[in-house]
């Protein structure tokens, strides 16, 4: 059984016990534990079920590579699925639950899949559920979906805080082991601004567990000393609990800092995502031990040799009383020696190499450990935990030579450098045949903005495993990185180190090498996704020769661990099955993040009120307090209508229209774009921008204008006022303010840069209020002594006035057909003006109205709306706006395009009015059907509705639409089928429904 040893555990504070629960069971760990070490200390060997076969699974690793031990962590607003117990620090009150089983971890119905494993090979779902076709959607998929998915999605809102942090460094070193420390020191000593990050809470990496001597002393001495030196350097920043998540173009690097995971009650963010720009990146990310592929290698109690060593040394946890070590390299001997020295039994070391190990092997033998060279594990006994192993000749087919009783198996298939970060942004790898691993190719590093490489690997991440070589290599990497960022490295030597000489590894991709199919079907490659040696071999036989195809077919490496343990073994099996060398097969693509990061950390500050910027006018609060039903218009919130108690939205809109037409309405028009255009060439410039002539406009006057893009399509419209000889004020649509200003600047900066024109976007400088209706002049006259009579301020004129004690500008323009003014004042006084107009208008029943009433009134008058009548494919000519297109001008943006053959095609759909015969309202976007069907068998169409409303003024439905030959077909009746099949018939009419002669505004 696994248990806490009486002594040891270099990371523990045994004086501080911590209580936690696993599947409702109360357990106890100590400060310094990971959830994994605490579970093992409580003999919780079984921690989950595998994804496909629901096999019992235990902890395999001690770090980020853990494939099996995933739990649902926390509860309610803090619940998070698929958390690796190996990277979860224990805290008091932690609750977690295992996943992927029903009804319980111990007894799981889904485990039946394991019995059926023979019938569920790679590609089973693809092959089986394809016929009959309709069954996929209605039968198979719903059932399969039920059983798919790992863990449960959280149901509650996440209660924690998250944030980003932008940081800039010359050199970022990822990984705080001895290599990272030395690289950071070398770069820091050269004067570079350095960030050193370590994903665990501890510095030093594996060295304290693996041993060796640095400058004649244990690695801890070097770690403590170097850390102190780094802390003393002002140019070096040290962060623990921070993972290098991804490396991207031009030195962009994401650092994932887990600020609050280990202290959930602390104030502050839970995760902080560092968005780093690094001149140079040093990946000192170490290496990951590979499992060996033998039958039963997934039984709880079979673990990586290094992990068993870590639990013993770091956490004082013995995984088993009797541990068999199985290996193809010398490193695993360290585990045997460590366990033996702690007084635990190591019945045998099974070394697949006929020649066996070197100095470490000799040390093991000296300690009395039995070593079996040229042997392998044929079969692991036990289901929910290891009971023993059958050993066999590695060269054979798996005939058992002997059974050895044990309760843990420490396996080592060699080490793979963590090359993920190197590879994220295009760094290439090469296969080191002798060391049986992919290593970063220094000649093919990812390149930055200057075309030079910006990532260097150091230490084990570079394929160095001898302690002395690690430090030399890391020192050189740190110095080179500093030099590449313009700093001069110091002329110092790397610390001297010594470790026991090791015999070379011998690659073992299958154990035994001639394993029978029965054994191969129980030899796991990908523990989380249940991919076995036999599945990859089947994929190869079925023609999935590309590693990327084989991966997707078998799902090898596609689980939440992204194949950290399985990829190399899997592609070695694939290469063998294809009869080609490993480099020819290559690796799958390494993609960020290195391990999963929280979605909330990616969102950062963008949640709740800060989810997106909401633009608010100076009158926003009044609107909110008076029943505004909001409509998003661009990033603005505009009142769609103001709902009174007991009113429906439709009621409110109809009331607002009627009140405005009958007496007086107020519109918050502050969102309309306002752009000042000034200079000797301003008139010439606007003549190019608008389809009509603006240069002839007289100061004091306004003109409605249309703006097209170079494609000829209508993009914006609005009223232009000439302020003086040199200066124009261009109004744009609400959504168009920023784009039109950018459009103006683009043409001025990139095409007509010699024209003397300056623009300024003053949209937000002014609050603008539409004062609309027959009583509008009366209410203004109450508040102003200026002459606002028909002569004093005529239609399409503007003047500066004083209104209610405020300096204001009045534009006499109308988008409703009523007598109407738009009054602008500085935004800071907008609310004051609004309040005064409400007060003064009370006697006229003043009625604030929203965007829908605005739309109805403009539609009643046949005024077009950008975005309704236009959709990016409509030219002004389609809308009968010829009067606003100058014939005199040689050029304007869009003029040439409007002469293209398709634009002058007489069969382009044209704007008309539509009047339903029964008075009902047409659905928005409805199509008018025509005879016959097109090549796809769809009904032919001859027009569509662009705007449609119930007009309270006329008491009936009105609409505008684009119709084939529409203007020539007045009186024709079109048929518009609704979605429910009912057909509405509408007559083609002129698109002006109300006050055709404009008498209402002309008073």
Position among 146, 612, 907, 938 found at the interface with another protein (CB under 8 A): 612
The DSSP code for 505 is P
Beta bridge partners of 97: 72
Decide if residue 102 touches another protein (CB under 8 A): no
**In the complex, least distance from residue 172 CB atom to another protein, rounded to whole angstroms:** 13
The smaller minimum CB distance to another protein, of residues 81 and 604, is found at: 604
The smaller minimum CB distance to another protein, of residues 201 and 805, is found at: 805
User: Which tokens belong to 766?
Assistant: 């002014």
Within 742-781, the residues that bind another protein by CB under 8 A are: 742, 745-746, 749-751, 753, 756, 758-760, 762-766
Decide if residue 610 touches another protein (CB under 8 A): yes
Residue 736: which of 640, 812, 639, 636 has the closest Cα? 636
Stretch that binds another protein, among 250-258, 321-329, 485-493, 970-978 (CB under 8 A): 250-258
The smaller minimum CB distance to another protein, of residues 728 and 927, is found at: 728
Number of other residues whose CB lies within 10 A of the CB of residue 751: 11
The smaller minimum CB distance to another protein, of residues 126 and 753, is found at: 753
The smaller minimum CB distance to another protein, of residues 891 and 980, is found at: 891
The smaller minimum CB distance to another protein, of residues 478 and 618, is found at: 618
Within 42-71, the residues that bind another protein by CB under 8 A are: none
Residue 633: which of 615, 618, 613, 646 has the closest Cα? 615
Number of other residues whose CB lies within 10 A of the CB of residue 436: 23
Number of other residues whose CB lies within 10 A of the CB of residue 940: 12
Q: What CA–CA distances, in Å, run from 325 to 292, 306, 369, 371? A: 11, 11, 10, 9
Within 692-731, the residues that bind another protein by CB under 8 A are: 710-711
Within 828-857, the residues that bind another protein by CB under 8 A are: 828-829, 831-833, 836
The DSSP code for 925 is T
Task: Answer whether 43's CB lies under 8 Å from 300's CB.
Answer: no
Within 808-827, the residues that bind another protein by CB under 8 A are: 826-827
Residue 182: which of 587, 518, 430, 469 has the closest Cα? 469
Position among 3, 23, 95, 237 found at the interface with another protein (CB under 8 A): 237
Position among 161, 381, 701, 944 found at the interface with another protein (CB under 8 A): 161
The smaller minimum CB distance to another protein, of residues 659 and 669, is found at: 669
Beta bridge partners of 760: 676
**In the complex, least distance from residue 754 CB atom to another protein, rounded to whole angstroms:** 9
Close Cβ partners of 683 (under 8 Å, ≥ 6 residues apart): 694, 695, 728
Dihedral sign for Cα 920, 926, 928, 934, please: negative
Position among 272, 322, 564, 623 found at the interface with another protein (CB under 8 A): 272
Within 637-676, the residues that bind another protein by CB under 8 A are: 676
Decide if residue 924 touches another protein (CB under 8 A): no
**In the complex, least distance from residue 601 CB atom to another protein, rounded to whole angstroms:** 13
Number of other residues whose CB lies within 10 A of the CB of residue 546: 15
- Separation CA 600–CA 610 (nearest Å): 13
The smaller minimum CB distance to another protein, of residues 754 and 918, is found at: 754
The smaller minimum CB distance to another protein, of residues 428 and 831, is found at: 831
Decide if residue 157 touches another protein (CB under 8 A): no
Dihedral angle, C-alpha 5, 8, 12, 17, nearest 10 °:
40
Within 853-912, the residues that bind another protein by CB under 8 A are: 890-891, 895-897, 899-901
**In the complex, least distance from residue 605 CB atom to another protein, rounded to whole angstroms:** 6
Within 439-478, the residues that bind another protein by CB under 8 A are: 447-451
By DSSP bridging, strand 13-22 and strand 94-98 are parallel
Residue 444: which of 426, 418, 420 has the closest Cα? 426
**In the complex, least distance from residue 168 CB atom to another protein, rounded to whole angstroms:** 4
Residue recorded with tokens 């606003």: 884
The smaller minimum CB distance to another protein, of residues 256 and 311, is found at: 256
Position among 21, 112, 168, 792 found at the interface with another protein (CB under 8 A): 168
Position among 136, 252, 630, 994 found at the interface with another protein (CB under 8 A): 252
Position among 232, 493, 609, 979 found at the interface with another protein (CB under 8 A): 609
Decide if residue 806 touches another protein (CB under 8 A): yes
Residue 184: which of 193, 461, 199, 496 has the closest Cα? 193
Residue 631: which of 306, 424, 866, 855 has the closest Cα? 855
Position among 678, 684, 950, 985 found at the interface with another protein (CB under 8 A): 678
* φ, ψ at 236 (rounded to 5°): -120, 130
The smaller minimum CB distance to another protein, of residues 17 and 680, is found at: 680
User: Which tokens belong to 908?
Assistant: 């382009």
Decide if residue 605 touches another protein (CB under 8 A): yes
CA angle (988 as vertex; 985, 993 as ends), nearest 5: 105
- Separation CA 716–CA 798 (nearest Å): 22
CA angle (305 as vertex; 301, 311 as ends), nearest 5: 75
- Separation CA 307–CA 40 (nearest Å): 12
Decide if residue 978 touches another protein (CB under 8 A): no
The DSSP code for 922 is P
**In the complex, least distance from residue 238 CB atom to another protein, rounded to whole angstroms:** 10
The DSSP code for 204 is B
Close Cβ partners of 120 (under 8 Å, ≥ 6 residues apart): 52, 53, 113
Position among 251, 718, 862, 961 found at the interface with another protein (CB under 8 A): 251
The DSSP code for 372 is E
The smaller minimum CB distance to another protein, of residues 219 and 251, is found at: 251
- Separation CA 4–CA 34 (nearest Å): 13
Close Cβ partners of 829 (under 8 Å, ≥ 6 residues apart): 767, 806
Helix (H) or strand (E) holding 526: strand 524-526
**In the complex, least distance from residue 452 CB atom to another protein, rounded to whole angstroms:** 9
Stretch that binds another protein, among 11-19, 55-63, 531-539, 615-623 (CB under 8 A): 615-623
- Separation CA 755–CA 675 (nearest Å): 18
Stretch that binds another protein, among 23-31, 38-46, 242-250, 471-479 (CB under 8 A): 242-250
The smaller minimum CB distance to another protein, of residues 163 and 390, is found at: 163
Stretch that binds another protein, among 53-61, 474-482, 740-748, 926-934 (CB under 8 A): 740-748
Does the N-terminal peptide bond of residue 749 adopt cis geometry, omega within 30 degrees of 0? no
Decide if residue 402 touches another protein (CB under 8 A): no
Decide if residue 598 touches another protein (CB under 8 A): no
**In the complex, least distance from residue 634 CB atom to another protein, rounded to whole angstroms:** 10
The smaller minimum CB distance to another protein, of residues 135 and 758, is found at: 758
Residue recorded with tokens 């009650």: 265
Within 406-435, the residues that bind another protein by CB under 8 A are: none
How many residues bind to another protein according to rule CB under 8 A?
80
Close Cβ partners of 753 (under 8 Å, ≥ 6 residues apart): none
Position among 17, 218, 504, 805 found at the interface with another protein (CB under 8 A): 805
Decide if residue 275 touches another protein (CB under 8 A): yes
Decide if residue 636 touches another protein (CB under 8 A): yes
Within 185-214, the residues that bind another protein by CB under 8 A are: 193
For 800-805, the CB contacts below 8 A with 24+ separation are 803/833, 804/832, 804/833, 804/836, 804/837, 804/840
Decide if residue 135 touches another protein (CB under 8 A): no
* φ, ψ at 668 (rounded to 5°): -80, 100
């Amino acid at each position: 059984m696994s248990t806490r040893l009486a002594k040891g555990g270099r990371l523990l504070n045994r004086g501080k016990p911590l209580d936690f629960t696993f599947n409702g069971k109360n357990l106890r760990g100590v400060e310094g534990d990971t959830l994994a070490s605490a579970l093992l200390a409580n003999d919780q060997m079984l921690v989950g079920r595998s994804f496909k076969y629901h096999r019992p699974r235990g902890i395999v690793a001690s770090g980020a590579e853990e494939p099996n031990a995933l739990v649902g962590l926390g509860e309610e607003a803090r619940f998070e699925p698929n958390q690796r117990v190996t990277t979860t620090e224990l805290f008091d009150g932690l609750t977690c639950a295992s996943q992927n089983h029903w009804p319980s971890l111990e007894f799981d119905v889904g485990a039946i899949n394991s019995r059926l494993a023979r019938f569920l090979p790679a590609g089973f779902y693809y092959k089986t559920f394809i016929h009959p076709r309709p069954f996929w959607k209605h039968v198979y998929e719903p059932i399969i979906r039920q059983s798919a998915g790992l863990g449960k999605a959280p149901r509650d809102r996440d209660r924690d805080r998250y944030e980003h942090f932008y940081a800039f460094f010359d050199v970022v070193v990822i990984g705080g082991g001895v290599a990272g420390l030395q690289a950071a020191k070398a770069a820091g000593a050269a004067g570079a601004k350095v960030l050193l990050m370590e994903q665990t809470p501890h510095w030093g990496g594996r060295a304290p567990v693996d041993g060796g001597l640095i400058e004649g002393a244990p690695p801890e001495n070097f770690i403590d000393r170097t850390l102190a030196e780094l802390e003393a350097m002002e140019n070096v920043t040290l962060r623990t609990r921070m993972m290098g998540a991804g490396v991207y173009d031009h030195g962009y690097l994401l650092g994932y800092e887990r600020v609050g995971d280990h202290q959930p009650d602390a104030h502050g963010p839970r995760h902080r995502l560092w968005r780093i720009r690094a001149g140079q990146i040093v990946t000192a990310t170490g290496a990951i031990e590979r499992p060996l592929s033998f039958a039963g290698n997934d039984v709880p109690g079979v673990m990586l040799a290094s992990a068993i060593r870590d639990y013993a040394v770091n956490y004082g946890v013995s995984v088993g009383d009797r541990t068999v070590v199985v290996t193809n390299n010398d490193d695993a001997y360290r585990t045997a020696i460590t366990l033996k020295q702690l007084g635990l039994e190591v019945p045998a070391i099974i070394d697949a190499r006929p020649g066996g190990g070197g100095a470490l092997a000799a040390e093991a033998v000296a300690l009395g450990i039995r070593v079996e060279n040229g042997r392998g594990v044929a079969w692991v006994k036990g289901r929910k935990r290891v009971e023993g192993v059958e050993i066999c000749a590695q060269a054979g087919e798996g005939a058992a030579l002997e059974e050895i009783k044990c309760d843990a198996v420490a396996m080592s298939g060699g080490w793979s450098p963590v090359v993920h970060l190197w590879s994220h942004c295009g760094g290439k790898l090469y296969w080191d045949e002798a060391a049986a691993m992919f290593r970063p190719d220094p000649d093919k590093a990812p390149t930055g903005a200057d075309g030079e490489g910006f990532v260097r690997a150091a230490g084990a991440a570079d394929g160095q495993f001898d302690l002395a070589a690690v430090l030399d290599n890391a020192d050189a990497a740190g110095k080179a990185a500093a030099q590449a960022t313009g700093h001069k490295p110091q002329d110092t030597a790397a610390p001297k180190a010594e470790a026991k000489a090791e015999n070379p590894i011998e690659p073992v991709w299958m154990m035994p090498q001639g394993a029978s199919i029965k054994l191969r079907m129980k030899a796991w490659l990908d523990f989380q996704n249940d991919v076995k040696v036999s599945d990859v071999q089947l994929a190869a036989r079925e023609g999935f020769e590309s590693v990327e195809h084989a991966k997707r077919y078998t799902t090898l490496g596609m689980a939440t661990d992204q194949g950290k343990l399985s990829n190399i073994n899997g592609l070695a099996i694939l290469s063998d099955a294809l009869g080609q060398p490993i480099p020819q097969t290559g690796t799958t693509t390494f993609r960020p993040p290195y391990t999963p990061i929280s979605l909330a950390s990616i969102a950062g500050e963008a949640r709740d009120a800060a989810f997106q910027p909401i633009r608010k006018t100076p009158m926003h609060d009044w609107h909110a307090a008076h029943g505004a039903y909001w409509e998003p218009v661009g990033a603005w919130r505009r009142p769609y209508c103001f709902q009174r108690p007991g009113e429906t939205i439709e009621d409110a809109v109809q009331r607002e229209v009627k009140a405005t037409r009958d007496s007086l309405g107020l519109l918050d028009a502050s969102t309309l774009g306002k752009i000042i255009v000034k200079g000797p060439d301003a008139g010439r410039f606007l003549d190019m921008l608008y389809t009509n002539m603006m240069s002839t406009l007289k100061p004091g006057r306004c003109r409605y204008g249309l703006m097209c893009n170079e494609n000829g399509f209508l993009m914006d419209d609005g009223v232009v006022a000439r302020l003086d000889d040199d200066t124009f004020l261009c109004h744009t649509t609400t959504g168009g303010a920023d784009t039109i200003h950018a459009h103006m600047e683009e043409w001025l900066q990139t095409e007509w840069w010699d024209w003397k024109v300056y623009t300024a976007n003053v949209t937000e400088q002014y609050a603008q209020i539409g004062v609309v209706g027959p009583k509008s002049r009366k209410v203004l006259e109450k508040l102003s002594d200026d002459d606002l009579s028909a002569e004093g301020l005529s239609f399409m004129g503007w003047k500066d006035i004083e209104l209610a004690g405020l300096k204001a500008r009045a534009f006499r323009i109308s988008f409703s057909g009523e007598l109407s003014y738009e009054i602008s004042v500085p935004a800071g006084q907008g609310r004051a003006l609004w309040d005064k107009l409400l007060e003064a208008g009370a006697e006229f029943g003043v009625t604030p109205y929203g965007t829908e009433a605005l739309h109805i009134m403009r539609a009643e008058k046949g005024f077009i709306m950008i975005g309704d009548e236009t959709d990016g494919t409509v030219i002004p000519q389609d809308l009968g706006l010829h009067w606003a297109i100058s014939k005199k001008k040689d050029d304007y943006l869009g003029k040439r395009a409007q002469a293209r053959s398709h634009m002058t095609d007489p069969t382009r759909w044209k704007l008309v009015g539509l009047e339903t015969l029964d008075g009902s309202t047409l659905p928005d976007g409805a199509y008018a059907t025509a005879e016959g069907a097109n090549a796809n068998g769809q009904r032919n169409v001859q027009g569509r509705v662009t705007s449609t409303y119930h007009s309270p003024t006329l008491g009936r439905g009105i609409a505008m639409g684009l119709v084939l030959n529409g203007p020539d077909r007045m009186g024709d009746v079109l048929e518009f089928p609704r979605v429910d099949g009912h057909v509405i018939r509408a007559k083609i009419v002129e698109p002006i429904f109300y006050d055709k002669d404009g008498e209402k505004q002309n008073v």
